[in-house]
Amino acid sequence: MELTPGSVFAGYRVIRQLGSGGMGAVYLVQHPRLPRQDAMKVIHAHLSGDPAFAARFEREAELACSLDHPALVRVHDRGREQGRLWLTMQYVDGPDAEQVLRREGTMAPVRVLRILEAVAGGLDHAHAMGLVHRDVKPANILLSPGGTGGERALLGDFGIAQASGATRLTDTGSLPASLPYAAPEQLLGGPITAAVDVYALGCTAYELLTGRRLFDQDSSLALMGAVLAGPRHEAWDVLPAGRPALRAALQRAVATNPDDRPPSCTALAEAVRSAIAPVPTTVVPAGAPAGPHPPPPAPWPLPPVPTAPSSWPPQQAAALPPPPWNPPGQADGGGSHGSGNGRRRRWPWLLGALLLLAAVATAGLLFVSPWGIDSPRGVRVDVQSGGVEVRWEPVAGVDAYEVHRDGVLVGRAEGTTYLDGEVGSGTRVTYSVAAVAEDGERSDPTTSETVVSALHPAADLAAEVGMTGVTLTWAAVDNAEHYEIRRGDEVLETRTAGTSFLDEGPPPGTHDYSVVAVDADGGARSSSVSVVLDVSPWLGAAELAEAFRDLLPDAPGAGGWGDATCGTAEPLSTSPAVAVVSCALPSGIYVDFLQYPDQAALDRRIAQLDALTDPAAPRTTDRGGWYRQSPAGNQVAWEAWGLTEPGRELMEIYIEWDGHTVADLDAAWYYAAPW
């Protein structure tokens, strides 16, 4: 189920979709009673229907609602609607840090420090409440205008928060974290404490400062092994060489043993602040040999130390002890190869990593986790008139694939292509593909680029021949800005905004009319839809022309009976007729041939004539049709009558002659013309 703008879900009016992910889609919604917009996460149906997941979702949503900190996205409410779990939270109008990194590249240290200190304060508040976030990463840090430095950082997605001290990964055994930021104890099923958030915040700080992930291995298994073994030596070489304290602070944050990490997130932020503070100019000690000295690193301007609101007692940051791998007496070492007690504490984790990897390699162990199967690579999308085709590279050992559109499952495929023929008209969509093993295990989804689908063809195209031309009508196409109209190969109109078009005075013949919908920038065009019809020279009066071919020329103009000149005319607004052919004779006689849509319309016409007719005159013709005439003494004499022959029962002949009598009309036309 995909919520559409304007629809109402759980009482909230949907404004637009903000994004989607593995758990569900997020929408911008209008609160039903307050003048406020919220972000609503609607959980996928297959997860909402899982009793274990639903119980955990409701429990953890209640825990998240207890948090109240300016750097944490507030959770407002949660519930179930139409079989789907949902949760509303504070809407933050701005990008996340990962989007900023992709768009702008490496962040300035001053900006990183502001973000780090804000998020650290929020995490420590959660930890004090007994909650661990478990999925701290740049994509979950939202940046909006306002706050110190013109930007405010808020940590979101506390939907997987867990009480600290828990030992199970989740109720279902999957890992509720992004692997490049997951602490080793999360992978090994150890206790979940605040230290996992310290670890992830250290990985995040590294990425914001360098523009690259601390762990960037390609496969899930290699990435898991790298996390368990610890960062490679060369990973730290991208940090400024003149800032060894920064290297030491981040190294300690991502220590393999949780006991070796800073005691709090605020302590990590304080260490980073101290590490990037301006370095004083080097002073040569007395008696030292003269010689050149390298210049100090350029100072980084720092933001002011953040102060909490008065209702927030400042948290005393713990002193940062030297990293465990530094030799005694080295206060600011930056080496990645330690010794002594630090090394002794690290080897059990390395041993665990080796044992875990060996089990995978020798026994083919399949982990029940979202990263146990390699994700499909090379996901590409091709916009076609019949939908959007999604293609990807095969994954070894996989039987099937699931394809999601904007986070909603739309289909399954056994091959490596899928055509989404149900995609909306001219809609911005993003697809993701997950590999599915024989036992039902799924990989992390791989996301495609965002594309705009083709506009749907104009439905219900109809053509009607009228008295002045051919009128085309069609149903409006979603997201179409205008329409192009063609008659055969001839372009009649390129920017029709409405859903109808009049082709005035088209040439006679068989015509193929077509309509193409076009979006605002012309990039998304629908396929052509067409209708074929025969157009008579008499347009909407073709049946009249056929019924009175002995009186009318082959086409509008001269050549009618009695040298009449004839043409089509629009019925008067008071007339129930649908078609009219008018003829003028050189004698001054005017003749109208009229056609009515049904007997009721013809009866209304006769009633109009009854108000004007001579009551003493005959009421029928000698052929059995109805008849009316003008009263004696009229300046303009007129006669009107109907016909009884098949095909002409709903037709009328009306004649008039100014300055003459009905008897003159009878002699000159009624009895003379071959009607």
Catalytic site positions = 135
- What single-letter amino acid sits at 77? D
* DSSP code, position 331: S
Alpha carbons 405 and 544: distance in angstroms, whole number:
56
Segment holding 565, helix H or strand E:
strand 564-569
Alpha carbons 229 and 356: distance in angstroms, whole number:
11
Alpha carbons 236 and 228: distance in angstroms, whole number:
17
CB 594 within 8 A of CB 571: yes
Alpha carbons 326 and 334: distance in angstroms, whole number:
8
- What single-letter amino acid sits at 153? A
Both tokens assigned to 165: 């001290």
Measuring CA to CA, which residue among 67, 48, 68 is closest to residue 58?
Answer: 48
Alpha carbons 431 and 403: distance in angstroms, whole number:
7
Give the residue ranges of DSSP H helices in 276-384: 341-363
Q: Name 144's Cβ contacts closer than 8 Å, sequence gap at least 6.
A: 92, 93, 94, 151, 152, 154
Cα dihedral value 631, 632, 633, 638, nearest 10: 60
Counting Cα atoms < 13 Å in the Cβ hemisphere of 122 gives 28
Q: At what angle do helices 194-210 and 97-104 cross, to 10 degrees?
A: 20
Q: Name 88's Cβ contacts closer than 8 Å, sequence gap at least 6.
A: 12, 29, 38, 39, 40, 41, 75, 76, 77, 78
Both tokens assigned to 14: 């949907």
Question: How many C-beta atoms lie closer than 10 Å to residue 167's C-beta?
Answer: 9
Both tokens assigned to 86: 């949902």
C-alpha dist (Å) from residue 102 to 77, 208, 212, 352: 32, 11, 10, 35
CB 588 within 8 A of CB 600: no
DSSP string, 415-450: SSEEEETTPPTT-EE-EEEEEE-TTS-BPPPEE---
C-alpha dist (Å) from residue 359 to 346, 356, 365, 646: 20, 5, 7, 92
SS (H, E, C) 35-99: CCEEEEEEECHHHHCCHHHHHHHHHHHHHHHCCCCCCECCEEEEEEECCEEEEEEECCCCCEHHH
